Structure 1
């Protein structure tokens, strides 16, 4: 005879207490893979019990400290622990305020898939990493879930970096297995941005020009120009003959504050000698006058 059940099978939960120890207490070779992730090692009897239950995969567990009621979530890596014992990463025991041999309650749970998470580095040394998002993504492959408030530890270049999980969405505990999750970083603990003081021109009480000494001595580009055709330069009616004498002589190395943008002045140290007769000054001067010389000698002179 066959019997049919009119009601679906009610899934049963896994809820047991174990003595917890750090991975360093596990016999055998050193298990660095456990310290680098967020998964625990459970005894074989737990696997037998879980296989008989109608639970959903992947296996996720809620860990609770019996004394302090501190809670976190994790996955399982292997079932090779001694009976009645579980082995946890050191950072997980630190979050749960557990010591070697303390009782811990383990219960299987089902968590939503993560869509967003925000982390805060606990040291400014984390800023030395060239691509922190890529390093975090590679490290989170060893984790099964995240819990808001936990301080996880990741290893990079033989150095341990601690990150606080500030926020997770869509819940306070999420699974990160095969998910597309956006990641953000908060400023590291104790990090302060350098504040650059900007001095506005309006706030300057003393004009820098007032601190400069009065110009003395030689003044560059202050002489008169000469025309190539020998004609005298016409003087403006507004300028007087005494204007040049009233100007302050210029000291080398001091900028000329009277300089007008867009003007160029050329000066010579030697001036052409003026004729005794002012009327014949234009006749005596001839532009580009003089004798020419050839580097090649003529044949007549050579003979």
Structure 2
């Protein structure tokens, strides 16, 4: 490969170079922390000279020539090195399926539209447990210059690591997010969708199993007499009890930490109480309703 192709320009206004890429593990601790926080790369000093001379645009398209996987990014800083090497965040190396020392083509991009809408998909439902996920995401995106559909945005918050996949972008599959107002939306996480499908399938299997199997009936056993005779009434009760009781189906949509207290309408409660009182009014004790008797009989009443 000639030197013009490895580090140079395609025309007067476009920068193009092929570098050997490395992960932040080859950097010092300070530079490693900075590059892992966002979506920007480190370029050598000769690249700055070409960019200043030909163009002032600091947005680039990265492409793996082996599999044509690509993404877009900005530049964090230029390192004092004359060798044709660059440093990428680990998530970007994984996304482009690159290993340390592989060749990477870098091309300056002139026209990237400003983002108007972005939809992210958390890789774990734990991300939505954060008190204010939008504020955390806004803080992380300050270290990004571009977003490409399919990118995996890493988030390190309170000693926990989260990942968000760029699911949808508008107005293009590659957008710039520098000083722009965009609408952000979250899609259901991957593990939440998987749990919902598995719970639905489990509920269906349980319902089919309940229909095919015999229904549980408490105290449905048959007693045995010492005389060996079978009571006719016992057989009739067992026959009538079949199919009268159904087992309940668990609530598979139950969420941990949520308690529900089902309430009975007051009208129905009052009606039930009134029915019970009317039914038992004949047997209810009522004081002072007896008839009195006098031991001394009136004079005008003759004894029998």
Q: TM-score, normalised by structure 2?
A: 0.62
Deviation at 1:29, TM superposition (A): 3.5
Cα 1:271/1:23, change in 2 over 3 Å: same
Paired with 1:161 and 1:62, the residues of 2 have a C-alpha distance of 25
Greater shift, 116-125 or 29-38, is seen at: 29-38
Which has the greater radius of gyration? 1
Over residues 267-302 of structure 1, what are the superposed CA-to-partner deviations in whole Å (9 max), with x where a residue is unaligned? Answer: 76643663325xx9xxxxxxxxxxxxxxxxxxxxxx
Q: 1: distance between equivalents of 2:163 and 2:16?
A: 30
Alignment of 1:44-193 (within 5 A): 44-56=45-57, 59-80=58-79, 82-83=81-82, 84-110=84-110, 111-191=112-192, 192-193=195-196
**CA distance in structure 1 between the partners assigned to 2:67 and 2:45 by the alignment:** 28
Q: Distance in 2 between matches of 1:61 and 1:186?
A: 28
Q: Which runs of 4+ in 1 moved over 2 A?
A: 27-31, 192-195, 205-208, 255-261, 267-275
| Offset at residue 152 of structure 1 (A) | 1.9
The 8 Å contact of residues 149 and 166 in structure 1, kept in 2 or not, is answered as yes
What displacement does 1:125 show?
1.9
| Shift, 1:31, TM fit | 2.5
Matches of 2:244 and 2:44 in 1, distance apart?
80
The alignment partner of 2:94 has SS state of helix
Specify every segment of 5 or more residues in structure 2 that has no aligned partner in the other structure, as ranges. 1-10, 204-242, 247-271, 298-304
* Distance in 2 of aligned mates of 1:163 and 1:22: 20
Taking structure 1 as reference, are residues 31 and 275 closer, same or farther at Cα in structure 2, changes over 3 Å only?
A: same
Counterparts of 1:15 and 1:172 in 2: how far apart (Å)? Answer: 21
Deviation at 1:42, TM superposition (A): 0.6
TM-score w.r.t. length of structure 1: 0.63
1:175-207 C-alpha deviation (Å, 9 max, x unpaired): 000010101111111213477x9xxxxxxx859
1:259 matched to 2:276: yes
Structure with more of its chain in helix, by fraction: 2
Name the SS of the counterpart of 1:40 in structure 2.
Answer: strand
- Decide whether the 8 Å contact of 1:41 with 1:81 is kept in 2: no
Structure 1 position 23, deviation (Å): 1.2
Equivalent-residue separation in structure 1 for 2:23 and 2:101 (angstroms):
9
Q: How far 1:113 sits from its partner (Å)?
A: 0.4
Distance verdict in 2 for CA 1:70–1:189, change over 3 Å: same
Structure 2 Cα separation of the partners of residues 271 and 85 of structure 1: 107
Rounded Cα–Cα distance in structure 1 between residues aligned with 2:276 and 2:245? 18
State the Cα RMSD in Å: 3.2
- Unmatched runs of 5 consecutive residues or more in structure 1: 1-9, 198-204, 209-254, 281-303
Match of 2:291 among 274, 281, 286: 274
CA contact (8 A) 1:24 1:30 kept: no
Residue 36 of structure 1 is matched in structure 2 by 37
Tell me the secondary structure at the aligned position of residue 49 of structure 1.
helix
